[in-house]
Amino acid sequence: MRLPEQPNERIDRSRPVQFSYGSRLVEGFEGDTIGSALFASGRRVFSRSFKYHRRRGLLCCSGACPNCMMRVNGEPNVRVCTEPVREGAQVQAQNVLGSLEHDLLAAVDHFGGPFTPVGFYYRTMIRPRSMWPLYEKFLRNIAGLGRLDEHAGRSRRFDTEHRRAEVLVIGGGRSGREAARSAAAAGRQVVLVDERGAAGVNGDFEVLAPARAIGIYEGGLVPVDAGSVLYRFRAERIVVATGALEQPLVFPGNDLVGVYLPEAVRRLVDEWSLKPGKRAVIVSADDRGLAIADQLQRAGTSVVESIDLRSAPPRTLEARGSRGRLSSIVLDDRELACDLLVMSGGRQPAYSLLAQAGARIEYDADRGIFVPTDLPPNVDAVGSVAGEMEPAAVPAATLNGAEEVGRCFVCICEDVTEKDMKRAIAEGFDSIELAKRYTTVTMGPCQGRLCHVPAIRLFAREHETDEATIGTTTARPPWAPVSLGLLAGRGHEPAKRTSIHHRHKEAGATMMWTGFWRRAHSYGSAGNEALHVHRAVGVIDVSTLGKLLVQGPDAARFLELLYPNRFGDMKVGRIRYGVLGTDAGRIMDDGTIARLGEEQYYVTTTSTGADTVIEWFEWWNAVWGLDVETVNLTGALAAVNVAGPRSRELLGRLADVDTSNECISYLDAKETLVAGVPCLILRIGFVGELGYELHFTSPYGEYMWDTLLEYGADLGIRPFGLEPQRILRLEKMHILVGQDTDSESNVLEAGMPWIAKLDKDDFVGKWALEHVQERGFREQLVGFEMQDGVVPAEGGQIVLGGQSAGRVTSARLSPHLGRAIGMAWVRPELAQDGTEIEIRVNGGVANARVRLKPFFDPEGERLRS
Amino acid sequence: MSFLLPCPNCGPRDVNEFVCAGEVTKRPRAAPSQRELSAYVYFRRNVAGVQREWWYHRFGCELWFLADRDTRTNEVLHTELPQDSAETPVAR
The boundaries of the domain holding residue A374 are 157-241+348-391
Phi/psi for A230 (5° steps) reads -105, 115
Note whether A90 and A289 are within 8 A (CB): no
pLDDT along chain A (865 residues), means of 10: 90 95 94 95 94 93 93 91 94 86 78 72 80 84 80 78 94 93 95 81 86 91 93 95 95 95 96 96 94 95 95 92 94 93 96 95 93 95 93 89 80 92 91 92 91 94 92 90 86 88 97 94 96 97 97 97 95 97 96 97 95 94 94 96 97 95 96 97 95 97 98 96 97 96 95 94 95 94 93 93 92 95 96 94 92 94 91
Q: Report chain A residues whose CB lies below 8 A from the CB of B64.
A: 618-619, 622
Domain-embedded: residue B71: yes
**A619 in a domain, yes or no?**
no
* Contact call for B88 and A619, based on CB within 8 A: no
What whole-number distance in Å separates Cα of residue A316 and Cα of residue A259?
16
Q: Is residue B38 part of a domain?
A: yes
**B63: domain range?**
4-84
Counting one residue from chain A and one from chain B, the pairs whose CB atoms sit within 8 A come to 55
Assigned domain for B90 exists: no
> CA-to-CA distance for A665 and A781, rounded, in angstroms?
30
**What's the confidence (pLDDT) of residue A75?**
87
Final residue belonging to a domain, choices A96, A126, A152: A152
Residues of B in contact with A624 (CB under 8 A): 91
Higher per-residue confidence, B92 vs A426: A426
| Chain B nearest C-alpha distance from A584 (Å) | 6
CATH number of the domain residue A798 falls in: 2.40.30.110
Sign of CA dihedral A647, A653, A658, A660: positive
**Residue A493: inside a domain:** no
pLDDT of residue B89 exceeding 70, the answer is: no
Q: How many CB atoms lie within 10 A of CB A102?
A: 9
For residues A144 and A133, give the distance between their C-alpha atoms in angstroms, rounded to a whole number: 18
Is B91 among the domain residues? no
In this structure, which amino acid lies at residue A561?
L
**How many structural domains comprise chain A?**
6
Domain termination residue (choose one: A694, A729, A764): A729
Which CATH number is A431's domain given? 1.10.10.1100
Query: Does the residue A600 lie in any domain?
Result: no
Contact B62 A619 (CB under 8 A): no
Amino acid, single-letter form, for residue A524: G
Q: Over A59-120, what HEC string results?
A: CCCCCCCCCCEEEECCEEEEECCCCECCCCCEEECCCCCECCCCEHHHHHHHHCCCCCCCCH
CATH of the domain at B79: 3.30.2270.10
Task: Clarify whether residues A715 and A639 are in a common domain.
Answer: yes
Whether B37 and chain A come into contact, CB under 8 Å, resolves to: yes
Residues A113 and A259 in one domain: no
pLDDT at A154: 64
Question: Do A127 and A187 sit in the same domain of this protein?
Answer: no
In the stretch 166-225 of chain A, residues with CB closer than 8 A to chain B read: 217-219, 221
- Whether residue A790 is contained in a domain is answered as yes
| Residues A448 and A385 reside in one and the same domain | no
For residue A306, being part of any structural domain is answered with yes
Confirm if A340 and A260 have CB atoms less than 8 A apart: yes
- Cβ of residue B40 closer than 8 Å to a chain A Cβ: yes
Q: What is the pLDDT of residue A113?
A: 64
**Do residues A29 and A128 share a domain?**
yes
Same-domain status, A254 and A330: yes
Which residues does A676 contact at the CB level (< 8 Å), separation at least 6?
none
CA torsion sign for A847, A853, A854, A857 is negative
Q: Is residue B47 part of a domain?
A: yes
- Best A162, A619, A744 member to test B by mutation, with max B CBs in 10 Å, is A619
A38 and A22 Cβ atoms separated by less than 8 Å = no
**A652, A659 contact by CB (below 8 A):** yes
Q: What is the pLDDT of residue A523?
A: 97
Tell me the pLDDT tens digit for each residue of A547-582: 999 999 999 999 999 999 999 999 999 999 999 999
Evaluate whether residue A582 is within a structural domain. no
pLDDT at A680: 98
Distance from CA of A624 to the nearest CA of B (A): 7
The set of long-range contacts for A37-45, using a CB threshold of 8 Å and a minimum separation of 24, is A37/A85, A38/A80, A38/A91, A39/A268, A39/A272, A39/A274, A40/A1, A40/A2, A40/A272, A40/A274, A41/A1, A42/A1, A44/A257, A44/A258, A44/A325, A45/A100, A45/A101, A45/A257, A45/A324, A45/A325
Q: Are A72 and A149 in contact (CB under 8 A)?
A: no
Cα separation of A263 and A250, whole Å? 18
Chain A stretch 662-701, residues whose beta carbon is closer than 8 A to a beta carbon of chain B: none
Name the pairing type of β-strands A229-240 and A379-381: parallel
Whether B92 is covered by a domain: the verdict is no
Residue B28 in any domain: the answer is: yes
Task: Verify that A56 and A120 share a domain, yes or no.
Answer: yes
CB contact at 8 A, A204 and A184: yes
Domain CATH number, residue A2: 3.10.20.440
E-strand stretches of A199-301: 206-208, 212-213, 221-225, 229-240, 244-246, 259-260, 279-284
B31 within some domain: yes
Residues A52 and A763: their CA atoms lie apart, in Å, by: 70
Residues A715 and A820 in one domain: no
- Strands A677-682, A691-697: pairing is antiparallel
Are A303 and A244 contacting, i.e. CB atoms less than 8 angstroms apart?
no
Q: pTM here?
A: 0.79
E strand residue ranges, A470-567: 510-514, 517-522, 538-541, 546-551
- Structural domains counted in chain B: 1
User: What would you report as the CA-atom Rg of chain A, rounded to the nearest whole angstrom?
Assistant: 38
* Same domain as A420, residue A274: no
Whole-number Å distance between alpha carbons of A596 and A579: 19
Q: Least CB-CB distance to A623: which of B37, B40, B92? A: B92
How far is CA A522 from each of CA A508, A647, A735, A772, rounded to the nearest angstrom? 9, 20, 20, 40
User: Final residue of a domain: which of A119, A152, A185?
Assistant: A152
| Residue A801 in domain | yes
Co-location of A336 and A415 in the same domain: no
Which of B14, B40, B64 comes nearest A618 by C-beta? Answer: B64
Together in a domain, A147 and A39: yes
Question: Do the Cβ atoms of A802 and A820 come closer than 8 Å?
Answer: no
pLDDT tens across A250-298, in order? 999 999 999 999 999 999 999 999 999 999 999 999 999 999 999 999 9
Does residue A706 sit in the same domain as residue A802?
no
Examine residue A52 and state whether it is found in any structural domain, yes or no. Answer: yes
CATH code at A290?
Answer: 3.50.50.60
Using the predicted structure, report yes or no on whether residue B91 has a pLDDT greater than 60: no
The span from the CA of A861 to the CA of A645, in Å, is: 12
Q: Which of A180, A178, A177 is nearest to A165 (CA)?
A: A180
Answer whether A68's CB lies under 8 Å from A38's CB: no
Nearest-CA distance from A115 to chain B in Å? 45
